[in-house]
Structure 1
Amino acid sequence: MPDRPSPLVAATGVVLDTRGRVLVLTTPGRTEPELPGGSVHGTETPEEGLARALREGLNLALPAGRLLAVDSRPPATAGTPGRSVIVHVHLVGPVPPQEAAAVSFPVGEATEARWLPPEAACALLPARVAPRLRAALAALHTGSFAHLVDGVPQPGSPAGLDPARRVALEHSGTLDPASHRASRPKAVTAASVLFTGSDGRILLVQPAYGRSDRWNLPGGGIDSDLGEIPRAAARREVLEELGLDLAPGRLLAVNWSHKPGRPARIRFLYDGGVLDAPALARIRLDRAELLQWRTVTPVELPGLVKPALRRQITACLTARATGAGPLELHAGRP
C-alpha cells in the first residue's frame, strides 16, 4: 500500500483580553482574517507550537491555556491526496491591558491586530473558522470541551452542540449512553452556611480571589466527583475557611440560578445557628481563600453582596424566623 500523507497538526489560540474581547489578525497577502496560531513543528506539542507562534508572531510571552476544542478538517476535496488538518484550540489569557497594548509584529510585517467582542469576531472570521471559535467559546463558558469535524460539533460533543440538535439526537435514540451523558447540560453545585451573631448580625467573608469587593457567605463548591454530599461540603468549607468544626443545622433553601450559555448553579443553604462572642473569637481564616470576615446588619447587605445572594440571605432569614422551608428559590426569589 503506498504511503498516505499524515495529517497536518496546527494550534490556534482564542486570545482574550480582560474585557472578554477576542484577538483577530488580518495579514496582507491573505484574503481572510484569522486567529493567532500556526502549524506545529517537528517534535513540538500543540501547546509548545502555539506558545512559539504567539512569541514569534505577536511578541506575546504567554503559555497555551486550557484545551477548548479539537477540530478535524478533511482535505479540501474528497478523494484527493491533500492533507487533512487537526487543529487544537487553546484558551490564552485573559491578557492584561499592558500586554494587550504591547502586541507587535516582526519587522516588515504589516499585520493588523483587532480586539473584538466575540460575536463581532465570529462575524468577521471566514466560514470555516467562525464555527470553531463559537464552539470553543461555548466550551470556555461551560467549563467543557468541543469535539468538531470541519467546525461542526459531533454527536456527544460536551460543548458546542446546538440544544435543538441535541434534543433531536436524544429523541431519535441514536446517541450511545456515553455520548448521551457527555452532551447533557451540566450544573455547578455549592453549599453555604448562614451564621448570625448574638445580635442578629450576619457573618460574611471576603474572598481572596475573583472580585474581592463582593462578600459571600461561608461555603464553597461540593466535591461531587469524590462522592461528597452538600451537608458534608458545608461543614468542610466552614472548617477550611474559618477553622470552626460545626455541624450545619437544617436546610433553609435550595437556590437555582442560570445565565444563557453557562452551566446552571445550584446552592444549598444551611442554618449555621448563632455564634456568640467566644465562638467568633475562635475564627481562624485560611488566608489563601479569605481576606477577612465581618458581621453586618440586613440593611448593609446591598452594598456588599450581589443582589441574587442578598435575596437568598433575606429568604433564609425569613425561613429561619418562621420555621418555613426548605425554600425553593430561583436567583433568590421563591
Structure 2
Amino acid sequence: MESSSAVGRDVMAAAAVLFSDGAGRLLVVRLPYDRKHPVAIPGGGWEPTDRSPRETALREIREELGFTPRLGPLAGVDWALLREGDRPIVVYLYWAEPLTAEQVAAFRPDTAEVGGWTWLTAEQAGHALPPRLSRRVTACLRAPGDTGPLELEDSRPVGHTLARLPADGPVPEYAGLAAAPGLTPSAEEPPEPSQPPMDRATYYATRPRIRTKARALFTDAAGRVLLVRLRPWDGPLGQVPHWTLPGGGVEADREMPRAAARREIREELGWEVEPGPLLALDWQPGAAADPEADPATGRDTAVLVYVFDGGTVTERMLDSLVLPEDELVEWRLCDPAEARALLTGPSWDRTAAALAARERSGGPVELVRGRSVGPDLPQG
C-alpha cells in the first residue's frame, strides 16, 4: 500500500567494488579508523548527489584510491541488518575490470580512509573480512558466472540465488588482520588515530537515507499486465489518476523486500502468493541528483524499487481479488500498449524491463529511472 509517510521505511545505501588482479586474488583495504574490523573492500556510502549506486561506487574509488575504475556488471545486492535495532543497509556490489600492476602502483589513497591494501585469495579474504561482509563477498566469488546479480538478504542467498548457492554455506572463522599480513601497519607509517572520527552510532545516525518499495509483476495467460489505480490524493500537480504495479513501501524496521512483497500482495489483492524471482532493481534518484525528478512524486530522496515476479494469474484468483477501499479504487489487465499509456514513463520502462527479464536466465536487471545501466550501457 502507498502512504505519504516514510516512517519505518528509510534505509542506508552503499556500494562496493570487487577488484581482482587477474590471478583470482581480491583487493582488500585496511580501514585506519576501525580497530574492531579493519579489513574491508573498497567502497562506501551513498550520497544524495549520487544519481545511482554505480555512481556511488565510482566516486568512492576516486576518493579512496585516487583513480576511476572501469566497472563491470552488478555482482549482487544485499539487504543487510547492521545490528539489531539499527536501520538496515542496501549494498550494491560491482565487479571491476582486473587491475594491472601499473594501475595499482598509481594508487593515491586518502590516508584517512585507506591505511593500506593487499591482494588475498578467496579463502584468505573469507577469514580476513568481518563475518557479514565475508558472507556477502564469498557468495559473489563462489557463484557460477551465469548466475547474474545475486539476491541476498542479511548476506545470505534468497530467490533465484538459492538455486546456485546454499542458503547457509560455511562461514570462515574470522581472523581479521591475522589473515591479511600484508595489511599490518609498518613501523614507518604514522600512528593511527586513537579514536575514529565519530562513534558508530553517531555515524549511522547522520547518514542519508533512501526509501524502498516492493512491487509484483502479475500477468494473465494472454500476457496482459495487472495494474492497480491508487486512490487520488492532493499532490503538487493536483489529483491525477495514478496506475502502478501492485505493491508499496518496505517497512524497513520490521521486514525485508521479499516479505514486504508478500504482505503487499495480501493487503492489496487478498492473495497469499510467494514472490518469485527478483526481476528488476530500479533506482529512482531524488531531486538532489536528478533535475528531471517528477515533482508530483514529492520525492525528497532516492527510492529503490524491487520488482518481483508474481507469476500468472488465474480466473479463480481474479474472482477472489478484493481491493482495500482506502488505498485502491480499480484494477485492470492491460496489454503492453494500454499499460504504456496508463503508466508514467519510468514506471512503464521498469515494467517493460521486468517483462524482458522474465524471458532470460540470471538475476535482476539493474535500472535507473527504469532504464538499464551497466558496463556496456550509459550510466546516466
TM value normalised by structure 2:
0.41
Greater relative contact order (CA < 8 Å, ≥ 6 in sequence): 2
